[in-house]
Amino acid sequence: MFASVLVANRAEIACRIFRTARAMGVRTIAVYSDADAKAKHVREADEAVHIGQAAASESYLRGDKIIAAAKAAGAEAIHPGYGFLSENPDFAQAVIDAGLIWIGPTPAAIRAMGLKDEAKRIAEEAGVPVVPGYRGEAQDAKTLTKAAKDVGFPVLIKAVAGGGGRGIREVNSAGDFAAALESARREAQAAFGDDRVIVEKLIARPRHIEVQVFGDKHGGLVHMFERDCSLQRRRQKVIEEAPAPGMTEAVRAAMCEAALKVARAVQYENAGTVEYVVDGSGPLREDGFWFLEMNTRLQVEHPVTEAVTGLDLVEWQFRVAAGERLPKTQEEITLSGHAIEARICAEDPSEGFRPSVGRITRYDAQSVAGRIDAGFDRGDAISPFYDSLVAKYIEHGSKESPRLRRSVCTMAAAQLGRLEIDGPTTNIGFLIRCLMNEAFHEGHVHTGLIADNLAELVDGSINRSVAAIVAALADAVAHSESNPWDAKDGWRMNCGTRAAWRFECGGDHVEVTLVRDRDAWRASVDGAAHRLTGVGGNRAGWVWAEVDGAYRDGLVIREGARTTVFVNGDRFFFETPGASREHADGAASDEVKAPLPGKVATIATRAGAAVRKGEPLVTLEAMKMEHQLKAPRDGVVADVAVEEGAQVKEGALLVRLVGEDEAA
Ligand code: ADP
Ligand code: ADP
Ligand code: MG
């Protein structure tokens, strides 16, 4: 085994790899950009090397600087993590040429699987079913349109070099094809520097199921069963699990055998994933799955496989890269229980999943059971330069029962509600609603589930009454004579007999009254009555009660006139009216500014155009996503201050509006 490893990545994945390295006695070396000088992965490493400016293209994507850092720090091996350079065959080759150990597949295997058309040819030759479609060299619009008609609508246009859900367009009829093609090409060129596409049949009610494979340098090759990653938003994974709901032994055998065939065709070594799109319109079938692509790296969702197999995949990566044989044979790898992973991101689901950057003012996972792979801690900042993944939560249930998956979902939802993160907005409330969604709970997963239920999944308002009660209780307790928050064993509600509050919450007025009725309390929120029993709290800021017979709790953070309450992962701000507030009034602004640094992808308006409130004006590309910036009010565009393709700073003016009368 090598004695030192450099991780060419950041955040959660770097911390994850360091954990195994430490356990194996391998010295850890981090690299960091200007934005990450004090980051958690830097703090946790034995040594850290600065590699450049904040922009990934100046640091985490600079293979030359990373290899120089490895040399300078005396690293024997490089682990690329995922994203960044992990699937770059030239980087893998450069690492090997520099005399270092590359912890990943061979450059040849990465290259063979790097393009979706070539990968599908290899799979087809290996006898693995592939989605019907066009993968030819000719790329003119006429050929592609004809190909789409031959395949039959609806189809998907996909960037040959695509990844992370980018460069994909769904087309439902021939009339829409040309525009979709152009837009897919533009995105593909910008994101991957390659505008070639393939055309594929769109599978109805699809599921995404993938198989983890592992090979060594001695011809050893095994699979580690499947993961279901069907819960997606815009073709990006949100929640993943293992095993797949409804999987049968026969279908599993067929999918795993096919994955091994693909891997064998490229003499695969180290960790890899074979992805399939699956017909989810009925029970899983042996003839109902098709090869999509192979990801030649460790994946974000590898922990669910670790949970159900009891293996450490990073340890396997190290051993295989060092030349050892696979630690276990296929027969020795077994599947136990059910595991679910949820990706916790700094984003605001209720605002179109807009990324939320800035300092993490609170981070506490102490009362959360289960595994958390985090890339940040209290005091760290979410940077606009990278993706928004903060941490992953992994729940594993091992007691076999027909209700196991349901109980794992419920358990994961409960634990996520205990994770305390403040500062940037997170998607935790959304994740909890996904986990508790009736169809998901029943295992009826498919890739459209989130889109079909979007309105209810992003809406945290069902928790608002409980949050308002919690805010009132916290205030009542804070004003009682003894300071019950200081009691070591928690407090019990024991103050006045009637009190009323008037809060402002998200622009609305909320009225709460609490009336004591012997041991119980009656609360009313905006006139609706609730019965409270068993009211209590602790000094960590948690307040709990049975509200109408159901146990509910909330975390309270009081700062002056503002009370922040978290209930089930949703955050609410309650302010006492009249108190001074730091933020501006709600008057709709005349200016559309960049909420974060990024690149102007498209401009959907021009000077002089009349626009309606909510109409998309500019698409900004930032943090690996596209964000639509909409008109804050009705008006006329006075000025478009940027051009397509421009790089803009946070706060940069993009579009200025004037009132319809001013424009006249
Ligand atoms: P996976 O297929 O492993 O689940 P995704 O496709 O969801 O990964 O992720 C999209 C891309 O973003 C991948 O290339 C992934 O490696 C990358 N990515 C996700 N999180 C991070 C991170 N914290 N740092 C760097 N890259 C990341
Ligand atoms: P990427 O490299 O961006 O991950 P994939 O080819 O893996 O691209 O596709 C991303 C996602 O899009 C899949 O996980 C799946 O949900 C969906 N998808 C891909 N191909 C099809 C298809 N032919 N029919 C239906 N859905 C598909
Ligand atoms: Mg994929």
Q: Which ligand is nearest to the CA of 87?
A: 1
Give the number of the atom of ligand 2 that is nearest the alpha carbon of residue 292: 6
**Rounded distance between C-alpha atoms, residue 343 and residue 435, angstroms:** 12
Residue 300 CA: which ligand 1 atom is closest? 3
The mean of the pLDDT values for the chain is 93
User: How close is the Cα of 324 to the center of ligand 1, in Å?
Assistant: 28
Pocket test for ligand 1, best of 240, 300, 623 (most atoms within 8 A of CB): 300
Residue nearest to atom 14 of ligand 1 (CA): 83
Say which range, 4-13, 83-92, 439-448, 532-541, has the weakest mean pLDDT. Answer: 532-541
| Percent of the chain surpassing pLDDT 70 | 95
CATH architecture for residues 122-130+208-336? 2-Layer Sandwich (3.30)
pLDDT higher for 577 or 292?
Answer: 292
Q: Is 275 in the pocket of ligand 1 (CB under 6 A)?
A: no
Cα separation, 537 vs 554, whole angstroms:
9
Q: What integer is the mean pLDDT of 493-513?
A: 83
Residue type for position 91: F
CATH topology of domain 591-663: OB fold (Dihydrolipoamide Acetyltransferase, E2P) (2.40.50)
Answer yes or no: is the C-beta of 385 below 6 A from any ligand 1 atom: no
Closest CA to ligand 1's atom 26: 83
pLDDT reported for residue 494: 55
Q: Is the CB of 298 under 6 A from ligand 1?
A: no
Phi, psi of 515, rounded to the nearest 5 degrees:
-125, 130
The hierarchical CATH code for the domain 4-103 is 3.40.50.20
Give the residue, by CA position, lying nearest to ligand 1 atom 2. Answer: 299
Cα–Cα distance for residue pair 612/559, rounded to 1 Å: 38
CA–CA dist 210, 303 (Å, integer)? 14
Q: Is the CB of 36 under 6 A from ligand 1?
A: no
- At 139 the pLDDT is 97
Q: How far is the CA of 232 from the centre of ligand 1 (A)?
A: 13
Q: What fold does the segment set 132-201 form as a domain?
A: Dna Ligase; domain 1 (3.30.1490)
Atom 11, ligand 2: residue with shortest CA distance: 235
The residue with greater pLDDT, 480 or 298, is 298
CA distance 56 to 492: 51
**Judging by beta carbons within 10 Å of its beta carbon (0-12, 13-18, 19+), is residue 161 exposed, middle or buried?**
buried
**Cα(32) to centroid of ligand 2, in Å?**
32
Give the active site residues. Answer: 297
Task: Answer whether 237 contacts ligand 1 (Cβ < 6 A).
Answer: yes
Q: How many angstroms is it from 295 CA to the middle of ligand 3?
A: 7
Region 324-329: mean pLDDT is: 98
Say if residue 483's pLDDT is above 70: no
Top CATH class, 347-459: alpha beta
Distance from residue 164's CA to the centre of ligand 1 (Å)? 7
**Cβ proximity of 94 and 63 under 8 Å:** yes
Residues 469-476, mean pLDDT to the nearest whole number = 90
What is the CA(203)–ligand 2 centre distance, in A? 10
CA of 349 to the centre of ligand 1 (A): 19
The number of angstroms, rounded, from the C-alpha of 433 to the middle of its chain's C-alpha atoms is: 15
Query: Is there a contact between 143 and 151 (Cβ–Cβ < 8 Å)?
Result: no
Rounded to whole angstroms, the Cα distance separating 27 from 297 reads: 22
- pLDDT tens digits for 359-410? 999 999 999 999 999 999 999 999 999 999 999 999 999 988 999 999 999 9
Render pLDDT for 98-123 as a digit per residue (tens, 0 to 9): 999 999 999 999 999 999 999 999 99
- Residues forming CATH 2.40.50.100 domain(s) in the chain: 591-663
Beta bridge partners of 537: 491, 543
d(CA 556, CA 160): 49
Quote the pLDDT of residue 584.
Answer: 36
What would the two tokens of residue 173 be? 């009829």
Residues 161, 189: contact at Cβ < 8 Å? Answer: no
pLDDT (0 to 100) of residue 579: 44
Residue 482: pLDDT band (50, 70, 90) is low
Q: Return the CATH fold of 464-575.
A: Glycoprotein, Type 4 Pilin (3.30.700)
What's the pLDDT at 585?
38
Give residue 662's identity as a one-letter amino acid code: E
Q: Which residues contact 316 (CB under 8 A, 6 or more apart)?
A: 214, 271, 326, 327
Q: Are 278 and 207 in contact (CB under 8 A)?
A: yes
Residue 490 has what pLDDT? 58
Alpha carbon 212 to chain centroid, angstroms: 20
Atom of ligand 2 minimally distant from the CA of 275: 7
Structure tokens at 15: 């911390």
Name the closest-CA residue to atom 6, ligand 1.
164
Characterize the bridge pairing of strands 570-575 and 591-593. Answer: unpaired
Measure 205 CA to ligand 3 centroid, in angstroms: 17
Domain with CATH 3.30.470.20 in the chain: 122-130+208-336, 347-459
Task: Say if residue 586's pLDDT is above 50.
Answer: no
For CATH 3.30.1490.20, the residue range(s) in the chain are: 132-201
Mutate-to-test residue for ligand 2 from 151, 160, 168, highest number of ligand atoms within 8 A of CB: 168
Q: Which atom of ligand 2 is nearest to the CA of 163?
A: 2
Work out the pLDDT band at 417, boundaries 50, 70, 90: very high
Residue 551 near residue 466, CB atoms below 8 Å: no
What's the Cα-to-Cα distance from 299 to each of 80, 387, 580, rounded to whole Å?
11, 15, 48
- Residue 94 DSSP label: H
Residues paired with residue 247 on neighbouring β-strands, in sequence order: none
Share of the chain above pLDDT 90, in %: 83
Q: Which of 67-81, 549-563, 564-578 is predicted most confidently?
A: 67-81
Q: Which residue did the predictor score with more confidence, 488 or 591?
A: 591
Question: How high is the pLDDT of residue 240?
Answer: 98
Q: Are 636 and 611 in contact (CB under 8 A)?
A: yes
For residue 132, say if its preceding peptide bond is cis, omega within 30 degrees of 0. Answer: no
Whether the predicted model's global pTM rises above the 0.85 cut: yes
Residue 180 Cβ < 6 Å to ligand 1: no
Q: What is the pLDDT of residue 457?
A: 98
236 CB near ligand 1 (under 6 Å): yes
Cis peptide before 243 (omega within 30 of 0): yes
Query: What's the pLDDT score for residue 628?
Result: 85
Assign 659 a pLDDT band (cuts: 50, 70, 90).
Answer: confident
Atom nearest to 87 CA in ligand 1: 14
CA nearest ligand 2 atom 17, residue: 235
DSSP of 334-359: ---SEEEEEEEESEEGGGTTEE--EE
Ligand 1, atom nearest to 275 Cα = 2
Buried b (16+ CB within 10 A) or exposed e, 477-508: beeeeeebbeeeeebebebeeeeebebbbeee
Q: Dihedrals φ, ψ of 316, to 5°? A: -60, -40
Spatial neighbors of 346 by CB under 8 A, at least 6 apart, are 355, 356, 357, 382, 388, 390, 424, 425, 426
What would the pLDDT profile of 16-64 be if each residue is shown by its tens digit? 999 999 999 999 999 999 999 999 999 999 999 999 999 999 999 999 9
Q: Cβ distance 617 to 635 under 8 Å?
A: no
